[in-house]
């Protein structure tokens, strides 16, 4: 017997999930913000200090919806109202990728790649927690 599967978009999956588990989206949003804050602190720890240290202090996590006019780099546009990101001064590009006069000092993308697996686990655990709470 063949198993049939169907791919659903994010909106359809979240609609079904919210119908079954009303707390799932809230739990996921909290986990997303926690993951973004942890990623920001890890990136900040590896960021170059420079002469003034103001770049390192500018690294912070926030919801994308709270910063509608800030340019998004490295991520696609999303309809998720709870989507989070790590924000920093515009000079992060020059530090991360380098320029003609300055060598690259990658600190954002290597840190995220190392943390991504743990971040996904934390978000999946938040949804699983909502499932367990709904079962009991």
β-bridge mates for residue 61, sequence order: 86
Q: Quote the number of domains for the chain.
A: 1
Kindly report, residue by residue over 57-115, the tens digit of the pLDDT.
Answer: 999 999 988 887 777 766 677 777 888 999 999 889 999 999 999 999 999 999 999 99
Asked if 104 contacts 98 with a C-beta cutoff of 8 angstroms, the reply is yes
Domain assignment of residue 34, given as a range: 22-135
Asked if 92 contacts 112 with a C-beta cutoff of 8 angstroms, the reply is no
| Inside any domain, residue 63 | yes
For 36-57, the three-class secondary structure string (H helix, E strand, C coil) is HHHHHHHHHHHCCCCCCCHHHH
pLDDT of residue 44 exceeding 90, the answer is yes
Q: Return the higher-pLDDT residue of 118 and 27.
A: 118
| Inside any domain, residue 16 | no
pLDDT at residue 8, as a whole number: 81
Tell me the Cα Rg of the chain: 18
| Inside any domain, residue 4 | no
pLDDT of residue 21 exceeding 80, the answer is yes
């Amino acid at each position: 017997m063949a198993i049939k599967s169907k791919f659903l978009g994010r909106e359809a999956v979240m609609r079904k999930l919210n119908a079954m588990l009303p707390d799932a989206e809230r739990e996921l949003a909290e986990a997303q913000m926690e993951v973004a804050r942890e990623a920001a602190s890890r990136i900040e720890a590896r960021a170059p200090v420079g002469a003034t240290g103001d770049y390192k202090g500018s690294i912070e996590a926030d919801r994308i919806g709270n910063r509608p006019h800030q340019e998004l780099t490295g991520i696609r546009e999303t309809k998720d109202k709870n989507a989070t990101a790590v924000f920093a001064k515009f000079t992060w590009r020059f530090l991360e990728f380098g320029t003609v006069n300055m060598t690259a000092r990658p600190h954002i993308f290597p840190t995220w790649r190392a943390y991504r697996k743990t971040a996904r686990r934390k978000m999946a655990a938040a949804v699983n927690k909502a499932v367990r709470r709904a079962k009991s």
